[in-house]
Structure 1
Amino acid sequence: MTNTTMVLRNANVIDVETGHITLKNIMIKNGRIASVENTKAQEEKLNTDVVVLDLQGKWVIPGLIDMHVHIKEGYAPLFTASGVTTVRNTGGNVHELKDMIHASMEAPVPRVISADRIIDGPSGLWGETSPWSMNAESPEAAKKEVRRQVEAGADFIKVYGWLPKEVMEAVVEEAKIYNKEVSCDLVYSKDVTAIDAAKMGIQWNEHASGILQDIYPEWTMQADANVWNSIQWEQPDLEKIEQVCKVLIENKVIICPTMVLLDQAKLLENYWYPKNEVTTKLEENDGLVNQWKYFLSHTASLESLGRQATMNKAIAKVYFDLGGQIVAGTDTPAGIFTIPGMALHRELELFVEIGMTEIDALRAATINAAKALKRPELGVIKEGAIADIVILDENPLVNIKYTQKINRVIKGGKIYTQNELFEEVPDGETVLKNLESFMKLFESTIS
């Protein structure tokens, strides 16, 4: 942990709670915010042992939180370089991510809150059981897997839509014993709808999934063309959406719509791709870029997702307007060009495009995300909070795209330039060696 005392002077602090901007001095000690005071009040307290950074003409926001990613060490620093200082990893392997999960507060990678491997039903959307997914054939097998994940250190449990209803219920029952929340991805579900999952006690709904199955019981991703064509995808039935959303709100479901995932699929060859320092660095990652290009050359599955984009946005807006808990996430690096870190900025743009204000979009990736995680020390700039701060060259309340105008990033009290974070990206050989070590470790733990 850094022991340096730092003061950010003359900062235009955006208070995400109130939406107000005030000129403040922010004092940081031992990785946390020690005080946020009017500029004159703190001037008298400064001494020669304090590192002072004058931020006149700059704006500061809390470190951003991407609430739906699948992170790997090979591109983890790109999140931080994009101002994303915390991620919620919604499926992976906690053994593979252990170095990041247990990293120091000021580490150049984002803070990782993680599920372990996804629990799916036979024969598994992602194929056979692996270090990253497990296909449970019975309630007993599912409960055993929950216990294994709890012991491994999973923060929450993730279930997929091919899981039969009775097996999904078993997961929820077992998770409750260990006080673990459950997250669901029901995009490909044929057996469980969003309302079913909510009534089981599943707190988190990823992609606003399963709602379409509630509205259109005859529809699934596997439905024939006649069913698909019977739905007016570009004219969402807001009344039906509202009926489902009200039930989810009654059950206190948190929705992470990942609009960027579906929006990119709809745009296809015209996908969103900003030209900046992060994307320039990203282009060195041949694995990711080639993966996206490969998906783009096989458009059928992308088109089925893209067709739902307008509906997905309508659900997000209705849920927000009704007072439901909604948070910002991206599913990086799924789909096409969901750029680590930068995709969250696109998600914020989409929140504003659907009719939310800039401050409400920011809240979905800061204070509201932190509240959903029950982590009050994140997502705010106030005394006692972890010093995760993004310094911006422009005011994002004027234009949400200005969240991309990143000057520097503070992670756990340590200040970084983007170039310093790019230098932390590991080379391919290191990533491969670490993956091989993980595979050996996992095989020994699972046997």
Structure 2
Amino acid sequence: MIEIINVNWINLEDKKIEVKDVNIPSEDNLEIDGSGKFLMPGLVDMHTHITPTSAKHYLYSGVTSVRNTGGNFEMLNLIDDVTPNVYATYRFIDGEPGLWGPTSYGNISTNDIETALAAVDELHKQGAKFVKVYGNIQEEVLEAVGKKSGEMNLEVAADLLHTKSIDSIKAADYGVKWLEHASSIVHSLYPNYNTQISQDEFNRISQIEMDEERLTDVLAHLIEKEVKIVPTLTLYRHLAEGRIFNPQELESSKQMKLLDEDKVFKVNDQFNAIDAQLNEDFRSRQKWEYKQVKAITGKYLEIGGEVYIGTDAPAGTWVYPGLSMIEELNEFKNFNLNNFEILKKAAVESKEVIGEDNGYLLLESNPVEKLENILDINTVFVDGKRFKHNDIAQYTVDGKSLMKEFEGIERKYSL
């Protein structure tokens, strides 16, 4: 047991800070003087894609649990102990042609119902916490997947950003319980919209003012069907604006420095390659979608819908594991939430979904004053383990061994 004495406990339930002694279940047995420091529950990224090479970066930014929304069972089992808790699904189910290509180590691309149902069986046997479907899935396949997943007590999460036929109403009726990126709600509001329309058609649709009555009706239906959304607003904003951080101080943070200097998890190579291909037409669409999803998120919160905070790191561009949670927290200031309420959503409400993670952050600065003070970390506690901040920074993984393992897994699924 670790006892932290005289610490400023961030009481997110009662919206107050109180000096007290706090006991943390741990494999260690020691007392820590918390005088002048702040203690709060760890953050949860509710939409991300963790890997063995990125795991430590979540801890380094105060994320003690992640909801992994797509990956590979064997690869995730290679993650070592320097990691947040992982609440995961594995290969996602897409239609043909797969948006990420044919069936591989990370996806099952099929228009065949039986093949899709076998994929649900695979996920269930692997211990996945939910099932993820993707934007080219066919309606009859989604309906069958939704039914079978329900029978197995697995919720269905959907990324339908690129769908041409399944809007949020259909998705909810087919049993989808999570709309990742708040996807397909825009399709319900603008029936002729999808990401593959011509620029002329997009220009026409983007001039249409959102129908507030229609928005309320759509979202009320989603609430009735118990649908949750994870808007990933930072992802939309970076795709629209490029490498502009909110707040700007993140650019010079210790966390960004560690990411930039990581010789194994070289995510900037990926971001630069993608960013170089984004033209102004694409950015204008992302700017419009960012505006729409903000409006959808605000209204869903207003009428009592369940909204969770996630990043999609490291997808798209400039969305970093761990660090981008600070950006996403700041996005929620758009919805008339104070910092206590935002932190509660990210560190308490999320755990009602994934389960208590026993994660805590001992901070040098007050995160209620400024959300980026979360990055001023002294110690991270996860699942009985204690990680001093400097120790996380110095920890390295064997990149060559992991690459060899990955190549074997890739071959396995390409046969």
When the two structures are superposed, what TM-score results if normalisation uses the length of structure 1?
0.86
1:255 maps to amino acid? I
| Alignment check: 8 A CA contact 1:205 1:254 kept | yes
For 1:416, the equivalent position in structure 2 comes to 387
- In structure 1, C-alpha distance between the alignment counterparts of 2:129 and 2:150, rounded to whole Å: 13
For 2:71, the equivalent position in structure 1 comes to 92
2:47 maps to amino acid? H
| Alignment check: 8 A CA contact 1:95 1:152 kept | no
Once the two structures are TM-superposed, the CA of residue 26 in structure 1 deviates from its matched residue by 0.9
| Alignment check: 8 A CA contact 1:233 1:307 kept | no
Which of 65, 80, 85 in structure 1 is aligned with 2:44? 65
Q: Verify: 1:277 aligned to 2:254, yes or no.
A: yes
For 2:220, the equivalent position in structure 1 comes to 246
Counterparts of residues 9-408 of structure 1 (less than 5 Å): 9-30=5-26, 50-100=29-79, 107-232=81-206, 236-272=210-246, 273-285=250-262, 287-300=266-279, 301=282, 303-373=284-354, 375=355, 377-378=356-357, 386=358, 388-408=359-379
CA offset digits 1:29-81 (Å, max 9, x no partner) = 345xxxxxxxxxxxxxxxxx951111111111101110111111111101011
| Alignment check: 8 A CA contact 1:195 1:247 kept | yes
1:402 maps to amino acid? N
1:15 maps to amino acid? N
Once the two structures are TM-superposed, the CA of residue 233 in structure 1 deviates from its matched residue by 7.0
| Alignment check: 8 A CA contact 2:241 2:283 kept | no
Once the two structures are TM-superposed, the CA of residue 235 in structure 1 deviates from its matched residue by 6.3
| Alignment check: 8 A CA contact 1:233 1:310 kept | no
Task: Report the secondary structure of 1:283's partner residue.
Answer: helix
Decide whether aligned partners of structure 1 residues 433 and 139 sit closer, same or farther in structure 2, where only a CA change above 3 A counts.
same
| Alignment check: 8 A CA contact 1:81 1:278 kept | yes
2:67 maps to amino acid? R
Task: Report the secondary structure of 1:89's partner residue.
Answer: strand
Once the two structures are TM-superposed, the CA of residue 248 in structure 1 deviates from its matched residue by 0.8
- In structure 1, C-alpha distance between the alignment counterparts of 2:21 and 2:190, rounded to whole Å: 53
Number of equivalent positions: 408
- In structure 1, C-alpha distance between the alignment counterparts of 2:240 and 2:212, rounded to whole Å: 21
- In structure 2, C-alpha distance between the alignment counterparts of 1:414 and 1:6, rounded to whole Å: 10
CA offset digits 1:164-215 (Å, max 9, x no partner) = 1111111111112221111000100111111111122211110010001000
Task: Report the secondary structure of 1:203's partner residue.
Answer: strand
Once the two structures are TM-superposed, the CA of residue 429 in structure 1 deviates from its matched residue by 1.5
- In structure 2, C-alpha distance between the alignment counterparts of 1:193 and 1:250, rounded to whole Å: 16
- In structure 2, C-alpha distance between the alignment counterparts of 1:99 and 1:225, rounded to whole Å: 43
2:23 maps to amino acid? M
- In structure 1, C-alpha distance between the alignment counterparts of 2:270 and 2:207, rounded to whole Å: 28
Once the two structures are TM-superposed, the CA of residue 238 in structure 1 deviates from its matched residue by 3.9
Once the two structures are TM-superposed, the CA of residue 98 in structure 1 deviates from its matched residue by 1.4
1:184 maps to amino acid? A
Once the two structures are TM-superposed, the CA of residue 414 in structure 1 deviates from its matched residue by 2.6
277-286 vs 243-252, which deviates more? 277-286
Once the two structures are TM-superposed, the CA of residue 439 in structure 1 deviates from its matched residue by 3.4
Which of 425, 431, 441 in structure 1 is aligned with 2:396? 425
Structure 1 vs Structure 2: percent identity of aligned residues? Answer: 31
CA offset digits 1:327-369 (Å, max 9, x no partner) = 1100000011111101111100111134222122112212111
Once the two structures are TM-superposed, the CA of residue 142 in structure 1 deviates from its matched residue by 0.9
- In structure 2, C-alpha distance between the alignment counterparts of 1:245 and 1:59, rounded to whole Å: 38
- In structure 1, C-alpha distance between the alignment counterparts of 2:142 and 2:29, rounded to whole Å: 54
Decide whether aligned partners of structure 1 residues 334 and 392 sit closer, same or farther in structure 2, where only a CA change above 3 A counts.
same
- In structure 2, C-alpha distance between the alignment counterparts of 1:177 and 1:140, rounded to whole Å: 16
Once the two structures are TM-superposed, the CA of residue 426 in structure 1 deviates from its matched residue by 1.1
Moved over 6 A (4+): none
1:416 maps to amino acid? F
1:142 maps to amino acid? A
Decide whether aligned partners of structure 1 residues 414 and 155 sit closer, same or farther in structure 2, where only a CA change above 3 A counts.
same
2:131 maps to amino acid? I
Decide whether aligned partners of structure 1 residues 263 and 233 sit closer, same or farther in structure 2, where only a CA change above 3 A counts.
farther
2:137 maps to amino acid? L
Once the two structures are TM-superposed, the CA of residue 236 in structure 1 deviates from its matched residue by 4.7
- In structure 2, C-alpha distance between the alignment counterparts of 1:334 and 1:371, rounded to whole Å: 26
Task: Report the secondary structure of 2:205's partner residue.
Answer: coil
- In structure 2, C-alpha distance between the alignment counterparts of 1:249 and 1:19, rounded to whole Å: 27
CA offset digits 1:11-30 (Å, max 9, x no partner) = 11112222222111112234
- In structure 1, C-alpha distance between the alignment counterparts of 2:208 and 2:15, rounded to whole Å: 33
- In structure 1, C-alpha distance between the alignment counterparts of 2:187 and 2:12, rounded to whole Å: 35
| Alignment check: 8 A CA contact 1:266 1:303 kept | yes
Decide whether aligned partners of structure 1 residues 50 and 310 sit closer, same or farther in structure 2, where only a CA change above 3 A counts.
same
1:435 maps to amino acid? F
